[in-house]
A and B are shown apart, each in its own frame.
Chain A
């Protein structure tokens, strides 16, 4: 982690609301995080916790309406993505920020060749000729480990397996040497062996190319092996944030603890039974006025019903830099300890 260096991406107070016929859905609530150059930031949380909406809000990829980005800033190298004109934003998407989506089976256009789809951003952002773009496309396919790249260039997505398609998606996202790669559950739709291969590929690419990566997953086990730092999301907000080792060694939020217990662990010959977190994630029909996790929390307290806990640093560093957590229980426990 490059402390001190200016962050590549700095998100502050992001709020995204969906205006639907049944009322508003507050999908992202005051999310802030920082991404340093070359860093791999893991984002974890159950399905529906607002991970995708957060990241798609940054590039304004959500259909509006119904999506409405209420407030916040997202500075990429000092320039606010959320305040850019459409033209500036288009010059940033695919060029400075690459995006890999969850489902490789549907994320590529079925009627165009892979070559066509890889060359598009190169021609658009790098001003390459078709021939130059073709040469670069072959390099990119080789980079992401697709054999026989030149021939593959003229094939269509349906001629590739899921894992291969996800490699292609990564090649497209990396085509213009972005500063940031956002990967939204890129391995969730793949089977386990392929998942491991893609993880290996990303580790390798990160060493070669050195871009910063945001890796979204609902699986903390995946994060353990690759991330530098982790944010845990619940109810559309960040509930805990810490360097990866610290998070695994010293989890604070009851939700993080519960998540950690859901990771399958091979201990000796027998694998422990998976624990699941009881209850359902909240439906966010209004701004949060209480802790979103309280209904499922074993440490529930009066304070949890009264206010939504803010993020507090627990190791003396600034919120967002070291280890912080948004939990009344943590704060109360600390007061008790001080009193004892």
Chain B
């Protein structure tokens, strides 16, 4: 297992290098030198340092290596310096956002908590709703519960979040006036009242995205349960005199969870990437919103960085999904 994980980690390195090269070249080879687009509001000395840091006057491959160095050495070490008070990369030029002129990684660092709180909660809520529904729908296949579940899953699948989100805003904010339309990023949770306020403003985005996630995960859970329900070992479990609860929630569920857990792990990067629409709709100032803003403002360093972070996350969670699979299924032997 350990060797497998290490091997996969090593294999991830070339994958990431190729992805980073593609991302770098896509932006770098676009018409006009990206560095010529540095806004004029950037002071000349800073501008000069940025050009040097990214090697604008050097050949493409050299610039790529410099960019990689920036990405894998300067920025992580900056974080390290910040945590442990060391001075390893002090004075090194960092990747700056052309919009705000502050380091890209600092902006991302500020945005990530917003995304994690709202979108992460939505994903979690989606899973928590989906699993029991999927399990019970399979156990009582074709029952009224199952059919209602199927209907809701169909709706959740087919209705895009920008529509359901707008609908929820109209119903719960405009008509009923129960919940705020916009998510207030500046709200600080300091006491009970502000905590309630935070919960209230999270409900709509969490509900919108949570339902969409629950729709697909509950279907996965249901079909995986159904696949296992007819297996011979289930009959063996019943023949041992075990109760239906143990048969279903131990024997069937434990097997059914293997593919579902994998799907859930593979879906986690989409918390960061796939929530762009929801974040924009509700004004959640997260990573998705940052990406949209950066694209609109041609903020190339920001776009490059975010694109690469998404790529890293996808590769990372693919690896995690594989490792989880081996962990959950004793038949998988990697070594």
CB 8 Å contact bits of A95-108 with B (1 = contact, 0 = none): 10011010100111
By beta carbon, the residue of chain B nearest A172 is: B240
Shortest distance from the beta carbon of B25 to any chain A beta carbon, whole Å: 45
Is A111 in contact with B255, judged by CB distance below 8 angstroms?
yes
B258 partner residues in chain A, CB cutoff 8 A: 111
Report if A61 contacts B (CB, 8 A): yes
Shortest distance from the beta carbon of A56 to any chain B beta carbon, whole Å: 8
Report if B91 contacts A (CB, 8 A): no
By beta carbon, the residue of chain B nearest A110 is: B331
Is A59 in contact with B239, judged by CB distance below 8 angstroms?
yes
Shortest distance from the beta carbon of A99 to any chain B beta carbon, whole Å: 4
B231 partner residues in chain A, CB cutoff 8 A: 106
Report if B241 contacts A (CB, 8 A): yes
B interface majority secondary structure: helix
A61 partner residues in chain B, CB cutoff 8 A: 235, 238-239
B186 partner residues in chain A, CB cutoff 8 A: none
Is B239 in contact with A94, judged by CB distance below 8 angstroms?
yes
Is A110 in contact with B330, judged by CB distance below 8 angstroms?
yes
A-B contact count (CB 8 A): 73
Please measure, in the bound complex, the distance between the C-alpha atom of A101 and the C-alpha atom of B231, giving whole angstroms: 12
Please measure, in the bound complex, the distance between the C-alpha atom of A63 and the C-alpha atom of B234, giving whole angstroms: 11
Report if B90 contacts A (CB, 8 A): no
Shortest distance from the beta carbon of A188 to any chain B beta carbon, whole Å: 14
Q: For chain A, residues 303 to 338, give those with C-beta under 8 angstroms from any C-beta of chain B.
A: none
Please measure, in the bound complex, the distance between the C-alpha atom of A88 and the C-alpha atom of B241, giving whole angstroms: 10
Report if B63 contacts A (CB, 8 A): no
Report if B13 contacts A (CB, 8 A): no
A158 partner residues in chain B, CB cutoff 8 A: 330-331
Is B239 in contact with A109, judged by CB distance below 8 angstroms?
no
CB 8 Å contact bits of A148-185 with B (1 = contact, 0 = none): 00000000101000000000010010000000000000
Report if B124 contacts A (CB, 8 A): no
A108 partner residues in chain B, CB cutoff 8 A: 233, 236
Q: For chain B, residues 290 to 330, give those with C-beta under 8 angstroms from any C-beta of chain A.
A: 328-330
Report if B100 contacts A (CB, 8 A): no
Report if B251 contacts A (CB, 8 A): yes
A91 partner residues in chain B, CB cutoff 8 A: 241
A93 partner residues in chain B, CB cutoff 8 A: 238-241
Q: For chain A, residues 103 to 159, give those with C-beta under 8 angstroms from any C-beta of chain B.
A: 103, 106-112, 120-121, 124-125, 156, 158
A124 partner residues in chain B, CB cutoff 8 A: 240-242
A172 partner residues in chain B, CB cutoff 8 A: 236, 240
CB 8 Å contact bits of A16-38 with B (1 = contact, 0 = none): 00000000000000000000000
By beta carbon, the residue of chain B nearest A59 is: B239
Is A121 in contact with B255, judged by CB distance below 8 angstroms?
no
Is B235 in contact with A90, judged by CB distance below 8 angstroms?
no
Report if A92 contacts B (CB, 8 A): yes
Q: For chain B, residues 247 to 272, give those with C-beta under 8 angstroms from any C-beta of chain A.
A: 251, 254-255, 258
A106 partner residues in chain B, CB cutoff 8 A: 231-233
Report if B237 contacts A (CB, 8 A): yes
Please measure, in the bound complex, the distance between the C-alpha atom of A99 and the C-alpha atom of B231, giving whole angstroms: 16
By beta carbon, the residue of chain B nearest A104 is: B232
Q: List the 4 closest A-B pairs by CB distance, nearest first.
A: A94-B241, A93-B241, A94-B240, A106-B232
Show the binding face of B for A, using Cβ within 8 Å: 230-233, 235-243, 246, 251, 254-255, 258, 328-331
* 28 sampled A-B residue pairs with Cβ under 8 A: A61-B239, A63-B230, A94-B239, A94-B240, A94-B241, A95-B241, A99-B236, A101-B232, A101-B235, A101-B236, A103-B232, A106-B232, A108-B236, A109-B237, A109-B251, A110-B233, A110-B330, A111-B328, A111-B329, A111-B330, A120-B240, A120-B246, A121-B242, A124-B242, A125-B241, A156-B330, A158-B330, A158-B331
